[in-house]
A and B are shown apart, each in its own frame.
Chain A
Amino acid sequence: MTAAPAAGLLDAAITGALVLASALTLLCGYRIVRGPTVPDRVVALDTIGTNVVAIGVLVALSTDRSLFVSVALVLTIIGFISTVAVARYVIEGDIIQ
């Protein structure tokens, strides 16, 4: 019974962080559209990937389903691999040689 306001606080914090992370993910789209160079767009996509990782962990906290933490971990790995692939592609012209 004493933990009831704390639980309400946790729900409010999770909801606020979800809304904030979603808004930040949307704002990163500006840099993808208007970025003057290709590395700008890669940086913006990497930031979107990190924000979506945070959203995954927040969804896991919100629904109490530990499955989404694994989803966030896999998204981290995919984001790193795609960043390295694009960074190699823009200077080498191909990825696997």
Chain B
Amino acid sequence: MTLTPLAADAVASLAVTPLTAAESAASTGPLALARTLVTVALLIVGSFFLTIGTVGLLRLPDVYNRLHATSKATTLGAASVFLAGFVHFGPGGTGLTSTIGIVFLFITAPTGAHMISRSAQRMGVPFFGTTAWPDDAED
């Protein structure tokens, strides 16, 4: 009963998406133009890095190589998209949330990649090619 007007409001806001974005960008002067251009540039950079990460995930031969591709490229991509959100929303409450998201991504993504690669090595997932772990190479 109380949810129905909220859902209708959300649907209506989704339906007029281009209008709202255009209104918000055209609200002020050349500063808004510069902000829009910076947002577009950051979105392009983020999309590029997301594409690189997924192509590396699909094409590289080994789980460690795939981790190398995704944990760096995808983190930079998502951080660029977060930065675009920071530029678009301004340094207020939402921009602060975007900054926290960037910091959290830069802390957690290498940690998660390290834990996955360590567990893969303990599971005995073989390396690609003639690469060997240093302790095994001595034997």
Contacts and interface: CB of A to CB of B under 8 A. Distances in A.
A39 to B, nearest CB: 4
Contact of B88 (A6, A61, A90): A61
A16 B47 CA distance: 9
Interface string B77-98: 1100110110011000110011
Contact of A17 (B47, B97, B101): B47
Contacts of B104: 73, 76-77, 80
Contact of B50 (A11, A20, A87): A20
Contacts of B40: 9-10, 13
Contact of A64 (B20, B93, B109): B20
Interface in A68-97: 69-70, 72-73, 76-77, 79-80, 83-84, 87-88, 90-91
- A: interface residue count bin: 35 or more
Nearest to A72: B101
B97 A66 contact: yes
Secondary structure type dominating chain A contacts: helix
A79 B89 CA distance: 24
Interface residues of B, number: 64
Contacts, number: 193
Contact of B89 (A30, A44, A69, A73): A69
Interface in B13-43: 13-14, 17-18, 20-22, 24-26, 29-30, 32-33, 36-37, 39-40, 43
A24 B116 contact: no
Contacts of A28: 54, 57-58
15 contacts: A3-B29, A7-B25, A9-B37, A10-B25, A11-B22, A16-B47, A31-B57, A37-B120, A54-B77, A54-B78, A66-B94, A69-B101, A72-B101, A83-B112, A87-B118
Contacts of A43: 57, 63, 66-67, 70, 116
A57 B85 contact: yes
